[in-house]
Amino acid sequence: MTGYWVDVFAVGFFALEWTVYAITLEHTVYGRDSLSARMHVYREIWVRNLLDRESRMVDMQIMASLQNGTAFFASTSLIAIGGALALLRETNDALTVLGTLPFGLSPSPALWEVKCVGLILIFIYTFFKFAWAYRLFNYVAILFGAMPPATQRGTPAAEAHVIRTTRLFESAGQHFNRGQRAFFFALAYLGWFVSPWVLFVTTAAVVIVIWRRQFTSNAWEAMGS
């Protein structure tokens, strides 16, 4: 029973850390100074600068690179789902391998399958986030194409289109960031396959790493200069 509750608390800690970090980053005043938030300012600048250019081929090429990167992560998520399903199917073989290690690992088959299902659910969530981000980037590309010409800069219609495009652009970036965050926490989740105590450590390590990148990294400092 003691071991069971350690697993429960470890998974609860994992879920709590993920939730608190996401809420802090996206819905608090503190999160408004993150690297992601600073980059959003330049999304709006980019969209507004489109109105000054008659030729927007370079902008569409940049947008295509964003779409390709998102498609890569979406396809990688599908591969990860397949790998997790294979791990679930080979439960007995995996437990046999773990039994030969010098760490004394001996989870029950049921617990091992629960761990695999949790990993599968994380990657499914990741896929949906990247897939939706890819679709939103497609919509942003359409709005880029529908951008009013430079001669209409300053008109109410042009301003409304800039705001509309910026909001959709921000939503696409937000879903992409959520997908990447899920990938990072999936790495932390792998610690549970070793031990619930390792899950505590890997979760804390991932939170520290991604927090530093958002609030104390060289990139964050560069975007604030």
Which of 35-49, 51-65, 116-130, 200-214 is predicted with the least confidence, judged by mean pLDDT?
51-65
Give the DSSP per-residue string, 71-137. Answer: HHHHHHHHHHHHHHHHHHHTHHHHHHHHHTSTT-----HHHHHHHHHHHHHHHHHHHHHHHHHHHHH
Residue 106 in this model has a pLDDT that exceeds 70:
no
For residue 108, the enclosing domain spans: 2-223
Q: What is the mean pLDDT of the chain?
A: 88
**Does 138 or 111 have the greater pLDDT score?**
138
Domains identified in the chain, total number: 1
> In this structure, are residues 58 and 46 in contact, taking their beta carbons and an 8 Å threshold?
no
